[in-house]
A and B are shown apart, each in its own frame.
Chain A
Amino acid sequence: MMNILIIIPCFNEQASLPRLISDLGNLKLPEKYNVSVCVVNDCSTDDTKQVAKKLDVILIDLPVNLGIGGAVQSGLKYALLNNYDLAVQMDGDGQHPPAELQKMIACYEETGASLIIGSRFIVKEGFQSSFLRRLGITYFHWLNKFFTGKSIYDSTSGFRLFDKKAIQLGARYYPDDYPEPESLVFFSKAGLAIKETPVVMVHRNGGQSSIRSFTSFYYCVKVTLAMFFSFIRKP
C-alpha cells in the first residue's frame, strides 16, 4: 500500500477548488495507491477556507500568508509527519488536470526518481502559455542546465511528485517565493534523481498566476540569484 498526499496550495481559489476536489475524488489509480487530498490555505482573503472545510480534505490553514513555497512546504511537513510515501504538488486553479496524475505515477514507477516534474514542453500539446512566459522558461531551462547539469525543460512547473527522500529534504528546506527552479538546484545538489514527464495543462479556471507581468523582471533576477546561491551553498 502506498499512501499519496496531494498538496494543493491555495490562495483565493474558492471558485475552482470544489471542481478540482471532485475530479480528484473520481480519479482512478492502481489499487495499491491510497490518495489523501490536502488543501493548504495560504491565508486567502476570499472564502477558500470555508469552501475547503465543507469538502472532504485535510485543511492546513496558515495563519499568515507565506507564499507558494511556504504553503507547499507546510504540505510536505504534514506528509513527513504522517509518514506518506509520496506527495504531489498541484495548483489549486485547475491548471493541472487530476487525470494527468496517472502519467506522473507511471513515470515514478518506471524510473523510481525522487522528483517527477509534470512538464508542458517535452511533447507540444495542450496549453503552452504566452510568448514572454515561454521565453522565461527557455532562460530557466538554460540556467538549470548550467547549475544542475540536467536538462529540465519545465523548471517552473508547479506540478510535481515527491518521493520520501524528496519529502524529507523539502520539509527541511524549501524556498519561499518562486520556489520551483531554485528547489531543482537544491534537490539536484542533494543527489536526488529528477525526471520529467509530459502532461497536458489547461487554462486556469480562476485566480491569478503568482507570476504577473510587472513582477516578471524581479522574478527573473530573484530566481537567478537564488539558484546561484543554492548552487554554491553546501547541502
Chain B
Amino acid sequence: MLRIQIITIIASVAFLFLVFRMVVKGRLREEYSIIWLLFTGILVTFSFWEKGLLLVSNLFGVYLPANLVFTISIFIALVYLLHLSVVASKLQKQNKLLAQEMALMKIEIEKLKEEIKPE
C-alpha cells in the first residue's frame, strides 16, 4: 500500500467519524449530513481502490487522475456553497416573517391586557 493511500484512508475515515459524531450530538442536521457522508464514502472507496481513480480518469478522458479529483471536488464544493446560500436566503425570509409576526402579536397582547384590566 502506498504512503499517500494510508494518509487518505486515515484522513477520510477520521472525517467520516467526525460527521457521524456531529449528527449524533445533534450539531449537524441529518439532511445536511447526507452529502458529507456520501463524499466521505467516495473518498474512502477511492483511497482503498487505487485502480478505480485511474479507471474513472480514463473514462472521462482526463490525462492526470489528480486533475479529475481537483475538478470534481471544486465543482461539488461550488454547488454546495450555492446550496448553502439558498438555505441562508430561506432562513432570512423565515426570520423576517417571524420577527414581523412577533411584533404584531406584541401589539395584540398589549390590547388584550388593556381590555381585561379591572376598572
Residues of A within 8 A of B (CB): 40, 58-64, 66, 70, 73-74, 77-78, 81, 176
Shortest C-beta distance, A38 to chain B (Å), equals 9
B104 touches A60 (CB 8 A): yes
Mark contacts of B85-106 with chain A using CB atoms, 8 A cut-off: 1 yes-contact digit, 0 otherwise.
0000000100110011011101
Report if A77-B100 is in contact (Cβ < 8 Å); known contacts: A58-B107, A59-B107, A60-B107. Answer: yes
Q: Could you list 12 A-B pairs, sorted by A, with CB under 8 Å?
A: A40-B103, A58-B107, A60-B103, A61-B103, A61-B106, A62-B100, A63-B99, A66-B99, A66-B100, A70-B96, A77-B104, A176-B96
Residues in chain B near residue A61, CB distance under 8 A: 103, 106
A64 touches B99 (CB 8 A): yes
In whole angstroms, what is the CA distance A61 to B99 when docked? 9
In whole angstroms, what is the CA distance A61 to B92 when docked? 18
Q: Can you add 8 more A-B contacts, CB < 8 Å, to A60-B107, A63-B102, A66-B100?
A: A59-B107, A60-B103, A60-B106, A64-B99, A66-B96, A70-B99, A77-B104, A81-B104
Indicate the size class of the contact surface on chain B. 10 to 19
Shortest C-beta distance, A131 to chain B (Å), equals 34
Residues in chain A near residue B96, CB distance under 8 A: 66, 70, 176
In whole angstroms, what is the CA distance A58 to B100 when docked? 14
In whole angstroms, what is the CA distance A61 to B102 when docked? 9
B107 touches A74 (CB 8 A): no
In whole angstroms, what is the CA distance A77 to B100 when docked? 8
Shortest C-beta distance, B106 to chain A (Å), equals 6
A62 touches B107 (CB 8 A): no
A78 touches B104 (CB 8 A): yes
Residue of A nearest to B93 (CB): A176
A-contacting residues, B71-89, CB 8 Å:
none
B106 touches A74 (CB 8 A): no
Residues in chain B near residue A64, CB distance under 8 A: 95, 99
Residue of B nearest to A171 (CB): B100
Residues in chain B near residue A62, CB distance under 8 A: 99-100, 103
Shortest C-beta distance, A77 to chain B (Å), equals 6
A70 touches B100 (CB 8 A): yes
Residues in chain B near residue A40, CB distance under 8 A: 103
Residues in chain B near residue A66, CB distance under 8 A: 96, 99-100
